[in-house]
């Protein structure tokens, strides 16, 4: 097994803080002692935080600060624990100190933003987010939201226009834009007015589009589809009309025509994403139990690759998981992980699927890789142990499983799974004593679970 204690310490101390710990011109042996003490306390803080003992984590990290009060990493870690305890004043002070020591580290600013956002101090949030935009332009969306919360609609609209000049606005940003433009300060038609305009001029496509957008952004998709139906009747060549035509073709089992309408909708950047999601969901239903539309579905999902609000591939994978179509589940979960490599929910679901379809070399590879990222996540050790057990590598399995046991916190079903698998693994290893020991531990837990 790797030395995760050293890895965790070095990763946070060097990568996050990019700082070194200096102790002046003193005896080298004393330096080693101090460094070892700091490392031990820092690892203890990480371990306690990992099992949600935030008070103990704070005590450990404060010991680090006593030895070195110039390292921003320690204050950042201190702030995270105070934030978890909802001790917002202390969290703010810790994050501010980290920022003061290293104003160019985005994670320290993120911590400060988390404090202000949770306490709804939106005015204080604004200058922090303005600094964060330098690191991540997507934070512009947060800034728009903050302007909306603080009734600075002019600033919000100006920023929205600036964002729209370089990319397509997300669904939430479109909603804010519409909200501003439909307020008293801006002249934009309301529902009743748009309905009157459509009655008077049924061949003007924009009136239908504006009405559909109003309905869609206020979560009234059914009404938006009714408008699309009217549009399809009056202007059949409109891309927006295909919202209605898609449903018509699907109901009448004209799948080729339905696909054509679907892809026209997906290619049109002005059609609201909620409508596109709904279209995809309806197409998804006809793909169950057949491989006939696999390529079409893959192409459709690729249109949502840049969706920053929903990991569509992951959701498609979960859909097929519930349908027990594991080959499709595996395919889409892997695409989901490509989009969000550190999403542990997707990783665990993929490990479960790979285990079901008995791809144990793959299970071993994935679980081992993610143990490096999440060294205190017990379930990863379980899957690594299971894979090694199935691959007849009992010694490696035992090493993984007994290490993983140390990270289980108040999860009796998972603990039971570990004991049962350890019992079987020791049996595979011809160690009858330990096989019986873990079997007995499992039986005790099963009594508690009844």
Tens of pLDDT along 386-430?
999 999 999 999 999 999 999 998 889 999 999 999 999 999 999
* 376 pLDDT more than 60: yes
Closest by CA position to 332, among listed 287, 371, 365, 369: 287
Question: Is domain 373-450 classified as CATH 1.25.40.10?
Answer: yes
Cα-trace Rg, the chain: 28
* 20 pLDDT more than 60: no
Tens digits of per-residue pLDDT, 230-275? 888 888 888 888 887 888 788 788 999 999 999 999 998 878 888 8
Is residue 62 a contact partner of residue 80, using CB atoms and an 8 Å limit?
Answer: no
Q: Is the dihedral of CA 193, 198, 203, 206 positive or negative?
A: positive
* pLDDT reported for residue 286: 93
* pLDDT reported for residue 183: 64
Is residue 45 a contact partner of residue 37, using CB atoms and an 8 Å limit?
Answer: no
The domain ranges of the chain are 1-119, 373-450
Is residue 246 a contact partner of residue 231, using CB atoms and an 8 Å limit?
Answer: no
CATH placement of domain 1-119:
1.25.40.10
d(CA 426, CA 394): 7
Mean pLDDT on 61-69: 86
* pLDDT reported for residue 333: 97
d(CA 332, CA 322): 13
Is it true that 1-119 and 373-450 share their CATH fold? yes
* pLDDT reported for residue 375: 92
Tens digits of per-residue pLDDT, 104-158? 888 889 889 999 888 888 888 899 999 988 888 888 898 998 988 888 888 888 8
* 22 pLDDT more than 80: no
Closest by CA position to 283, among listed 168, 275, 221, 322: 275
* 21 pLDDT more than 50: no
* pLDDT reported for residue 367: 96
Q: State both tokens at 75.
A: 């204050």
Is residue 221 a contact partner of residue 274, using CB atoms and an 8 Å limit?
Answer: yes
* pLDDT reported for residue 16: 38
**Residue carrying the six token digits 């202007």:** 235
The residue count for the chain: 450
**Residue carrying the six token digits 């997707």:** 346
**Residue carrying the six token digits 């820092």:** 42
Is residue 107 a contact partner of residue 135, using CB atoms and an 8 Å limit?
Answer: no
* 284 pLDDT more than 80: yes
Tens digits of per-residue pLDDT, 70-112? 888 889 989 899 889 888 888 899 899 998 998 888 888 988 9
* 202 pLDDT more than 80: yes
Give me the chain's average pLDDT, please.
85
DSSP type of residue 137:
G
Is residue 72 a contact partner of residue 17, using CB atoms and an 8 Å limit?
Answer: yes
């Amino acid at each position: 097994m790797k030395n995760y204690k050293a890895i965790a310490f070095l990763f946070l101390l060097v990568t996050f803080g990019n700082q070194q710990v200096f102790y002046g011109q003193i005896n080298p042996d004393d330096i080693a002692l101090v460094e070892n003490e700091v490392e031990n306390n820092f690892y203890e803080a990480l371990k306690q935080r990992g099992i949600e003992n935030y008070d103990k984590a704070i005590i450990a990290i404060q010991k680090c600060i006593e030895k070195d009060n110039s390292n921003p990493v320690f204050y950042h870690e201190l702030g995270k624990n105070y934030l978890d305890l909802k001790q917002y004043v202390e969290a703010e002070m810790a994050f501010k100190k980290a920022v003061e020591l290293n104003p160019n580290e985005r994670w320290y600013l993120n911590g400060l933003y988390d404090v202000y956002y949770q306490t709804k101090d939106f005015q204080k949030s604004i200058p922090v987010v303005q600094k964060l935009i330098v690191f991540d332009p997507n934070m512009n969306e947060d800034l728009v939201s903050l302007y909306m919360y603080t009734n600075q609609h002019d600033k919000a609209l100006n920023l929205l226009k600036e964002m729209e000049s370089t990319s397509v606005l997300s669904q939430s940003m479109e909603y804010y834009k519409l909200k501003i433009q439909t307020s008293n300060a801006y002249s934009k038609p309301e529902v009743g007015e748009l309905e009157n305009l459509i009655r008077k001029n049924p061949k003007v496509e924009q009136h239908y589009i504006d009405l559909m957008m109003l309905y869609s952004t206020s979560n009234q998709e059914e009404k938006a589809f009714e408008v699309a139906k009217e549009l399809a009747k009056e202007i059949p060549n409109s891309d927006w009309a295909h919202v209605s035509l898609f449903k018509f073709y699907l109901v009448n089992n004209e799948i080729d025509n339905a696909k054509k309408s679907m892809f026209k909708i997906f290619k049109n950047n002005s059609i609201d994403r909620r409508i596109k999601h709904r279209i995809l969901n309806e197409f998804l239903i006809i793909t169950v139990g057949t491989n006939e539309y696999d390529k079409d579905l893959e192409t459709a999902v690729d249109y949502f690759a840049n969706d920053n609000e929903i990991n569509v591939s992951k959701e498609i994978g979960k859909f097929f998981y519930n349908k027990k179509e594991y080959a499709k589940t595996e395919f889409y979960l892997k695409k989901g992980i490509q989009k969000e490599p550190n999403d542990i929910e997707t990783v665990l679901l993929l490990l479960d699927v790979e285990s079901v379809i008995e791809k144990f070399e793959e299970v071993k590879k994935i679980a081992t890789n993610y143990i490096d990222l999440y060294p205190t996540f017990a379930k990863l050790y379980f899957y690594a142990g299971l894979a090694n057990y199935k691959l007849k590598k009992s010694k490696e399995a035992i090493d993984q499983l007994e290490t993983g046991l140390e990270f289980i916190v108040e999860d009796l079903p998972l603990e039971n799974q570990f004991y049962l698998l350890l019992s079987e693994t020791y049996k595979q290893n011809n160690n009858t004593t330990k096989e019986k020991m873990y079997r007995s531990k499992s039986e005790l837990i099963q009594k508690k679970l009844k």
